[in-house]
Chain A
Amino acid sequence: MNEDVLPGVGRLKTGGWLHYLANPARFLRVATPALPWLAAVSLLLCVVGIVWGYAIAPADWEQGDAARIMYVHVPAAWVAMAGYAALAVVSLLSIVWRHPLADIAAEEIGPVGAGFTAVCLVSGSLWGKPMWGAYWVWDARLTSVLILFFLYLGHVALIRAFDNKAHGYRAAAILALAGAVNLPIIVFSVQWWNTLHQGNTISISGGSKIYITMLYPLLISTLGFYLAFITMVVARVSAAIYERKTASALLAVAER
């Protein structure tokens, strides 16, 4: 493939690396030794971030101890959105280049992303009761995240709904790409509408409204959640590749 035509740096310049990494055998060669390290580092960061947020970080001057829910709610929300963005990217790769690994990745990202979105919704709801006096309000931010959860569930169902797997991959990829329009709606919902949900506290461009003693555990927890998501998806994609290899091996035996 491209590695013969575009050796070395040329591969990086032309995007040939994308095709290079899309090979399932190459993916396993990279993923198998990386998985134990990914698992160990994500476990360590999740434990440190969660314990720090639950027991060590100071209570908020306004929200009190209830603000501790932020250390699991915010990372789950960010991972839920990043997971859907990843789903949209692999769906694009599937539609444009028909990478077999992109289809497998789309199939495996969906359930994990739906789980993180559920954690975001449940933890947010448990924060809402002591703070707002209600588990749920039909606020723009909450509603758009609920739609994200339904998009994940729809994708999980659609990709498995056809006897011909290729039809399921195509239909689910179109759903994932169309649903990506929800991501900017989630991000900007607190600016576009008057929402009960608070505005953005963290800003990459500066001006974060959070003190450093609360920012550190939040960032560690976030990194841990991101790595946990990546670890789970890589493990599931690897398992799916092995399952396909097993099916091919059994078919070859049956045809002998």
Chain B
Amino acid sequence: MIDPWPFINGAYGVSVLFLAVAGWLSFARLRRARRRLAQAEKL
């Protein structure tokens, strides 16, 4: 049988990378949106 570990590592790597990047991007967008609204309200 093929050594499954490279495939296991790949599957976990893709999942963890997606969760981390998508989560970070979502919160980065939220922080940016809040900051821009605060700036717009000062005008």
Listed in ascending order, the chain A residues whose CB lies under 8 Å from chain B are 35, 39, 43, 46, 50, 54, 64-66, 68-69, 72-73, 76, 112, 115-116, 118-119, 122-123, 126-127, 129-130, 225, 228, 231-232, 235-236, 238-240, 242-243, 245-246, 249-250, 253
Contacts and interface: CB of A to CB of B under 8 A. Distances in A.
Q: Which 9 A-B pairs have the closest CB atoms?
A: A242-B33, A66-B4, A123-B11, A72-B15, A249-B40, A235-B26, A239-B33, A239-B30, A126-B7
Nearest to B43: A253
B5 A65 contact: yes
A122 B16 CA distance: 13
A240 B34 CA distance: 10
22 contacts: A54-B12, A64-B1, A65-B8, A66-B8, A69-B7, A72-B11, A118-B18, A119-B14, A122-B10, A122-B14, A123-B15, A126-B7, A126-B8, A126-B14, A129-B7, A130-B4, A228-B23, A231-B26, A232-B23, A242-B33, A246-B36, A249-B43
B23 A126 contact: no
A199 B36 CA distance: 50
Contacts of A76: 15
B19 A228 contact: yes
Chain B at the A interface: SS class = helix
Contacts of B4: 64-66, 130
Contacts of A43: 23
A123 B37 contact: no
